[in-house]
Every structure is written in C-alpha cells, then in structure tokens.
C-alpha cells in the first residue's frame, strides 16, 4: 500500500473526525467504505476491537480507535506544535471532539455545509453542541 487508507461506513460519525484531521494535515488518502453487513464481516478480522474507523498506514500498520488515530496523525504530521502545553491542548480538542459526537455537532456541521444557515442548522439539534463550538472559538481567539 502506498498511501493511507481509511476504513469506515459510508457516512459521517467518528470517521469524519479522522477525515478532518487528514485534511488538516493535507494528507492524500483513499477510503474503503463499509456499505454492507458483508463488508463489515470481511473487515472484522482486521479490527482489534471489532469497531471502525481503522486507518491503514503506507507501512501497513493498522490503527484503530478514533482517539489513537487522531493522536497518530497529530504526531506524524506535526499538528501538535512545539510550544510547551500545545500537545495537551490538541489532546483536549481530540477528547472534546469525541464528546461532541454525542451532541449532534457533526449533524449541525453537515447541515451548514449543505446550505442551511448556521443558526438554522444549530437550532435543529438544540444548543448542546454550542458548548464545544464556543470553547474552540475561544481557544482560537486566544491563539492557544
């Protein structure tokens, strides 16, 4: 294999966070979509915990668990930064992203991407996801 390969369902979810990280790192990758039950059954022997996403590296390593994959991408492509305390901030964002998944944040983002106003998209899921958005905006504004 000569490039990264992401195995995930044909849709959003935890795989979307990996897609965002790969995009931020400007990494070329291909996707192997899990579209059917048989696709999942075929992939299961490669999934250590029986869950997707899984990222295969060009070296053939298979990484599972979203947080571990995101930390790998951050380290490998220098997204952690060099200043003291920056790694912890990246780890916080990774963990908050995982928590935000349960709040409907990705649904809000996708609705916004496909044409709804931000206010309209956010009101669809309520204000739960705003807690993460406000925290991330504050960190960006503070340059942290």
Top pLDDT among 56 and 111 is at 56
Percent with pLDDT over 90 in the chain = 38
Provide the CATH topology of domain 4-76.
Glutaredoxin (3.40.30)
For the chain, the structural domain boundaries read: 4-76, 86-141
Q: pTM value?
A: 0.70
Q: What is the per-residue pLDDT for 97?
A: 73
Tens of pLDDT, residues 81-92: 777 777 787 777
Which pairs with CB-CB distance under 8 Å and at least 24 residues apart come from 66-74?
66/14, 66/17, 66/18, 66/98, 67/94, 67/95, 67/98, 69/18, 69/21, 70/17, 70/18, 70/21, 70/94, 70/97, 73/18, 73/21, 73/22, 73/25, 73/27, 74/21
């Amino acid at each position: 294999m000569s490039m990264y390969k992401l195995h995930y369902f044909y849709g959003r979810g935890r795989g979307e966070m990996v897609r965002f990280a790969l995009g931020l790192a400007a990494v070329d990758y291909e996707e192997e979509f899990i579209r059917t039950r048989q696709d999942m059954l075929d992939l299961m022997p490669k999934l250590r915990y029986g869950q997707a996403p899984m990222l295969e590296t060009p070296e053939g390593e298979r990484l599972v668990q979203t947080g571990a994959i995101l930390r790998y991408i951050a380290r490998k492509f220098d997204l952690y930064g060099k200043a003291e305390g920056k790694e912890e901030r990246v780890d916080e964002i990774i963990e908050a992203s995982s928590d935000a998944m349960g709040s409907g944040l990705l649904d809000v983002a996708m609705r916004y991407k496909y044409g709804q106003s931000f206010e309209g998209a956010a009101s669809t899921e309520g204000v739960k996801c705003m807690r993460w958005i406000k925290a991330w905006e504050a960190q960006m504004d503070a340059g942290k």
